[in-house]
Structure 1
Amino acid sequence: MARVSPIPAELVARATVSHDAVQTVGEIVYWIEGRPSGDVLVRWTASDGSQDVLPEGFHVASYVHEYGGGAYLATERDLWFCNAYDQRIYHVSEGRDPVPVTPVPVLPGALRYADLRLLPGSSWLICVRERHEDDGSVHNELVILPGDRSAEPRVIASGDDFYMSPEPSPDGRRLAWVSWNAPLMPWDGSCLWVADIQPDGSLTDPRLVAGGEEESVCQPRWSPEGVLHLVSDRSGWWNLYAWRDDRLDPVITGEFEVAAAPWEFGYRTYAFQGAQVVAVIQQGPRHHLAVRNPDGALERLVLPYTSIKPYLAMAGWSIAFIGSSSALLPTVVLADPDGSVRELASAGLVLVPASLVRPEPFVFSTRDGAEAYGLYYPPLEESDQPPPLLVRAHPGPTANWPLRLDLHAQYFTSRGFAVADIDYRGSTGYGRAYRLQLRGRWGTVDATDCADATLHLAATSRVDPRRMTIWGASAGGYTVLRALATTDAFAAGVARSAVVDLEAWSAAAPKFQAHHAELLHSEHSSEVSEPGIRRPLLLIHGDEDRVTPLAQACTLVQRLGRSSHLLIVPRMGHTLQRPSDVHCVLRVELGHLRSI
């Protein structure tokens, strides 16, 4: 059998184009394409194919909560978007250049917007605004403003710490929205409200529909008939309900998730198709599409995708979404009810199937008798000896590893490594109870779950227990540091953009995450114990990271001394974007793993 060449770092580096935020207007499909130069809005039509929408120099991005999302709104005649450079909302009418409709802030980027909605029957926009004051305070609120800048934005809801998903009813008479307060995150506890919209745009008679400190609600949407739908985890799973006569009626329910943790604005994981509801269903690392028929039956659509991003929209009778699989990078797709698909955009990389391995889901027991989950990637080529293992801890930490093509993992499997992606307790996709198991135990449970996964794999002779490295980014980087400091499972570690000190990070973190660590961390795990880290550690950090400060990584390296190395990537933020940076970091990581 011919030897398969390893996947080149250059190929992985070219896969930096991403696709997000699908919207539709009739049968026209829009999405944001993330390129190394910035986020570009793309429009697809059956007659003209894909075209960039905005003039050169404009990029679509919101920085509300720093994570953004919900950065544009397309209608039949008009387009509004948040410009990445100045965070102002711009209006585009057909054939004209973008015109700003929000005021110039006193401080650059001090006024930010997200979740743009058009009030039906009017030219008024309703959206989330985030105000950054010169004293460092940050205020979130709902505002209404004319789409043509004939008046200043006006606050219509305030007082809670955070707001998301303003949704006017089809008749323009009511507004639904979600709010929550620190220290909770929206996936911990949030509230869904409905109020009446007055002729001047103000809100009256607000009433609580669902939610509270022990219930997460998200994604309110009105059906074409004016029935409010929402996702709630009151059953223990994020399921879909309809609000009728002050009660919640189940629409799509079961031991699966119909929503993703709302890290960003603009998530939409269900859509209306006549009398049917189409939804993204998640069970652990797998996703699929399902249709809920008027009789209540749930029909799974047979499609070649195992991972679907949280953006779903109807284009006529076709379903627009971003799908991927273990052999396919995320791709913008139009799927018909009969199962036929049309792929509109992808990363454009040609991959040899023989160079890829398919991950295998596995379940393992933890040291305290619980169960946790993972994906195991065997090395591409078999050997007489057990392979070295790269364990990966996902960021978040409230997130999970999806079952889709991951070129970072494939880069290492094509070079003789096994890879294990761990959905430690606290991950999403397994219900509310599993998600909350990290509360008060971040830095403990996640670290030991990663270590216990290696024991399971070593006991089945799938890996070499002497050559195991743990890797993580952002919050996953913190898991790496804690695993090295508190367990003996790993011979080395790699941490990208790592959280190092939870208390210091909370003090410097954006408002959205400032209390996240407070809710999750244990009093025994707030700071990494340098004496406990005796294994070689590679830290990778951007010098423009606004989420996890570079200074913390520098301090840790100084304390650890010769057992650690810090790679500072110039002009890099919290994540790798430029192909040249991806190429460089991969080569450095490979060298670190091979030195073990």
Structure 2
Amino acid sequence: MGETVQTLPYGEWPSPIDAATAAAHDGKPEFVGFVGDEVWWTEPRPAEGGRRTLVRRHSDGTEESVLPAPWNVRSRVVEYGGRPWAGFVRDDDPLVVFVNFADQRLYRCEPGGEPRPLTPLSPVGQGLRWAEPTLLPDRGEVWCVLEEFTGDGPSEVRRVLAAVPLDGSAAEDRGAVRELTDDRHRFVTGPRLSPDGRHVAWLAWDHPRMPWDGTELRLAEAAPDGTLHHARTVAGGPDESIAQADWTHDGRLLHTSDRTGWWNLYRDGEPVCPREEEFGGPLWQPGSRWFTPLDSGLIAVVHGRGATALGILDPETGEVVDAAGPWTEFAPTLAAHGERVVAVGAGPRSAPEVVELDTRTGRTRVIGAPHKDAVDPAHYPDPQARTFTGPGGREIHAHVYPPHHPDCVAPDGQLPPYVIRAHGGPTGRAPLVLDLGIAYLTSRGIGVVEVDYGGSTGYGRAYRERLREQWGVVDVEDCAAVALALADEGTADRDRLAVRGGSAGGWTAAASLTTTDVYACGTILYPVLDLTGWGPGETHDFESEYLESLIGPRAEVPERYAERSPAAHADRLTVPFLLLQGLDDVICPPAQCERFLARLEGGKVPHAYIAFEGEGHGFRRADTMVRALEAELSLYAQVFGLTVRGVPVLELTE
């Protein structure tokens, strides 16, 4: 603590973390991979319109952004995208294929040259989209997931595995794209070719299931001419989720399955490390990787119960040795080359960075996107992982971020305001890592708690399925239980509690405001608000039947869809709120917000609605994030009676 300690009310502490600083450090590196000996990955550029670039780390350790603006390496398959690039070395130079966000075409890129399209545009619906490419240079093809719209509706779509010629002959000719599978399954992941080239494995599933409900591991024989034959299901089913499949160096099939209630790893159908922890997760993006096999026979794994570690698994003994270092969370992206493993790790004092593990020496080091303290780390929060008790005695996992400032304390007897944050998904989980958006509040004296409510992943299938047909009930109850527990123990001010969430978390925030009296205000970002409209025809195909499990069969319990919807109970709102929405959002479209606000008219509830042009589901542009953060802080300042300087006053209307 500094020499001069100021006594100031909670929420009024001067902070060096402004909204621009927080926005500049939003996002994380993703989709790591090797191109020869080099490590490549995608990385956000919030100041460049929120695009994602492709970063190349040369053998000498220098980095370069391979593609200048406006190139944006990001797929829109299932709208959440998936792995958008792959590469290999040819004649000592890298050749990379990638998906460009604006037109969703697959491009080929070589050093010093302009990217050249490999796939055509389509005049039908939202066109052709690609994800999880695998390069087969000997065949002159790239194999990947093809998502093809057959009409103008969001669910008029088919998905297959396809082979795209690397010579560009399909750039204007859809007929030159070779389909590897039929479209009997609604969803597929990218093909994984066995080392001998004789078999291909992939995952598939169908509505109304989501991939964490039930998936199938498909296996086919690959003929010399590149066609697939005798496709069959070898594992999985309606009530078993397989999150990933791959091959060992000697041609044995690996996959993660939750058949025991936990995502564990199997080799040729036999468990290799049975534990009550997760070696997989929710498959929101094709190409997510929780494990990768090494040439030595060992397997690099991202695993844990709650928090995730990077480990090396010996499938012969079942022993896992975790990598040493300050990282307490690893993302589902892994790649291996020889004895090297690369991953993306983060911790309470560091944002996500690219980490390399030498499996021969056990040494770990940061090799890309290194964390750099934007401010004195003395202003970072000191989070606590805690378990609370909810209704019926059930456990609720949460991360508590108390107010923290090296040079400020609050007056004796004063309790801090707290913001209860609900993550998205709702199968998400709140990682215990440095988030300057949270530090933006805690450094000013506003506490934050992130709740892994029932339905969150990381704690086994039973915890995940607490939300089955209970969305809008269990999530709301769990957030309220944590908020009230903090107040009852004297950690938080009972009269100054707020709820905040985006996407599915926005639903939980809105449902909390319309069904409880726990909160003094709320911030709702790109939410689901009206279940009667959100579904086939209004949202995207991937989640269009998600409510069948979250709420119940629409044909059997139609009244529940209206009863649970915050839009149906807008008249119950009595506290101020902020609503933030991207106008290009096709997952939770602006119509949801508009219907909600229309039903609010006459309610005399102070509120603000800010809609952002050019933003979709989740904000990516620096200027958007700055305005959103400042508006959120201004809301809390007005409701909690705080004097906050340097932040535009959010105009609340009734």
- Global fold match (TM > 0.5): yes
Q: 1:409 to 1:292 in 2, by over 3 A?
A: same
Structure 2 equivalent of residue 515 of structure 1: 545
CA contact (8 A) 1:129 1:141 kept: yes
What is the match of residue 49 of structure 1? 62
Q: Which residue of 2 aligns with 1:269?
A: 290
**In structure 2, which of residues 373, 386, 395 is the aligned counterpart of residue 371 of structure 1?**
395
Aligned amino acid, residue 261 of structure 1: P
CA contact (8 A) 1:195 1:204 kept: yes
Q: Partner of 1:570 in structure 2?
A: 613
In structure 2, distance between residues paired with 1:68 and 1:438? 25
Partner Cα separation in structure 2 for residue 108 and residue 190 of structure 1 = 27
Q: Give the 3-state SS of the residue equivalent to 1:595 in structure 2.
A: helix
C-alpha contact 2:36 2:88 (8 A) present in aligned 1: no
Per-residue deviation, residues 551-582 of structure 1 (Å, max 9, x unmatched): 22122123224313212223222222222221
Q: CA offset at residue 261 of structure 1? A: 0.9
Give the alignment of 1:33-112 within 5 angstroms. 33-36=43-46, 37=48, 38-47=51-60, 49-54=62-67, 56-77=69-90, 78-107=95-124, 109-112=126-129
- 8 A contact 2:262–2:460 mirrored in 1: yes
Q: Deviations over 1:377-401 (max 9, x none)?
A: 1111543322111000001111110
1:115 Cα deviation after fit: 1.2
Aligned residues: 591
Instruction: Spell out, residue by residue over 1:6-45, the C-alpha distance to the aligned partner (whole angstroms, 9 max, x if none).
Output: 1222211211353111011343101001113311111102
Matched residue of 2:393: which SS? coil
Alignment correspondent of 1:325: 347
Q: Which moved more, 1:17-26 or 1:263-272?
A: 17-26
Measured against aligned partners, the alpha-carbon deviations of 1:531-569 in whole angstroms (never above 9, x if no partner) come to 222211211112222221112212212322431321222
What is aligned with 1:258? 279
Secondary structure of the corresponding residue to residue 225 of structure 1:
coil
SS at 1:502's partner residue?
A: coil
Letter in 1 for 2:54: L
Query: Is the contact between residue 139 and residue 161 of structure 1 (CA under 8 Å) also seen in structure 2?
Result: yes
Q: Give the C-alpha shift of residue 61 in structure 1.
A: 1.3
> What does the per-residue CA deviation read over 1:273-331, in whole Å, with 9 as the maximum and x for residues that have no partner?
312111111321x1111111343322222221011111111244232111111110111
State the Cα deviation string for residues 77-132 of structure 1 (Å, max 9, x = none).
22111122211111234543322222231247501011111347422222111111
Following superposition, the deviation at residue 472 of structure 1 comes to 0.4
How far 1:404 sits from its partner (Å)? 0.4
The corresponding residue for 1:386 is 415
Does structure 1 residue 477 correspond to structure 2 residue 496?
Answer: no
**Is the Cα contact below 8 Å between 1:191 and 1:217 reproduced in 2?**
yes
Q: Which of 556, 581, 596 is the aligned partner of 2:596?
A: 556
| Cα distance between partner residues in 2 of 1:491 and 1:373 | 23
Task: Give the counterpart letter for 2:611 in structure 1.
Answer: I
Identify, as 1 or 2, the structure richer in strand: 1
Q: Which amino acid aligns with 2:376?
A: V
Q: Give the aligned partner of residue 144 of structure 2.
A: 127
Q: Secondary structure at the match of 2:493?
A: coil
- What value does the CA root-mean-square deviation take over the aligned residues? 1.8
Tell me, which stretches of 5 or more residues in structure 1 are unaligned? Answer: none
The reply to whether residue 149 of structure 1 matches residue 178 of structure 2 is no
Q: Cα 1:440–1:279, aligned 2, differ >3 Å: closer, same or farther?
A: same
Which amino acid counterpart does residue 339 of structure 2 have in structure 1?
A: W
Q: Which runs of 4+ in 1 moved over 4 A?
A: none
Which residue of the partner structure matches residue 225 of structure 1? 250
Supply the AA of the counterpart residue of 1:339.
R
* Pairing 1:593–2:636 present: yes
Inter-partner Cα distance in structure 2 for 1:347 and 1:84: 27
Q: Tell which deviates more after alignment, 437-446 or 16-25.
A: 16-25
Aligned twin of 2:357:
335
Q: Following the alignment from structure 2 to structure 1, what is the Cα–Cα distance between the partners of residues 402 and 110?
A: 52
Tell me the amino acid that sits aligned with residue 215 of structure 1.
E
The 10-residue stretch of structure 1 (215-224 or 122-131) with the greater mean CA deviation from structure 2: 122-131
SS at match of 2:281: coil
Aligned to 2:564: 525
- Residues in 1 aligned to 2:638 and 2:200: alpha-carbon distance in whole angstroms: 58
d(CA) in 2 for partners of 1:345 and 1:297?
Answer: 31
SS in 2 for 1:252: coil
Q: Which stretch has the larger CA shift, 137-146 or 442-451?
A: 137-146
Matched with 1:209 is: 234
Say whether the 8 Å CA contact 1:160–1:180 is kept in structure 2. yes
**Where does structure 2 lack aligned partners over 5 or more consecutive residues?**
6-12, 171-175, 553-559, 640-654
Question: Secondary structure at the residue paired with 1:556?
Answer: helix
CA 1:55/1:12 → structure 2, altered by over 3 Å: closer, same or farther? closer
Amino acid at match of 1:265: P
| Residue of structure 2 equivalent to 1:15 | 25
- What TM-score do you get using the length of structure 2 for normalisation? 0.87
Q: Aligned equivalents of 1:348 and 1:251: distance in 2?
A: 39
C-alpha spacing 1:209/1:35, structure 2 compared with 1 (3 Å): same
1:409 aligned to which of 438, 450, 455: 438
- Tell me which residue corresponds to 2:515: 486
Deviation of the 1:449 alpha carbon = 0.7
- In structure 2, the partner of 1:462 is 491
- Cα distance in structure 2, aligned partners of 1:55 and 1:135: 32
Counterpart-to-counterpart distance in 1, 2:252 and 2:592: 49
- 1:119 touches 1:172 (CA, 8 Å); kept in 2? no
Q: Which residue of 2 aligns with 1:432?
A: 461
Distance 1:312 1:514 in 2: 30
Structure 1 Cα separation of the partners of residues 212 and 40 of structure 2? 28
8 A Cα contact 1:120 1:171, kept in partner = no
Contact 1:543 1:570 in 2 (8 A): yes
Q: Which amino acid aligns with 1:221?
A: D
Matched, 1:32 2:42: yes
| Residue matched to 1:399 | 428
Whole-angstrom distance in 2 between the partners of 1:40 and 1:299: 33
TM-score by length of 1: 0.95
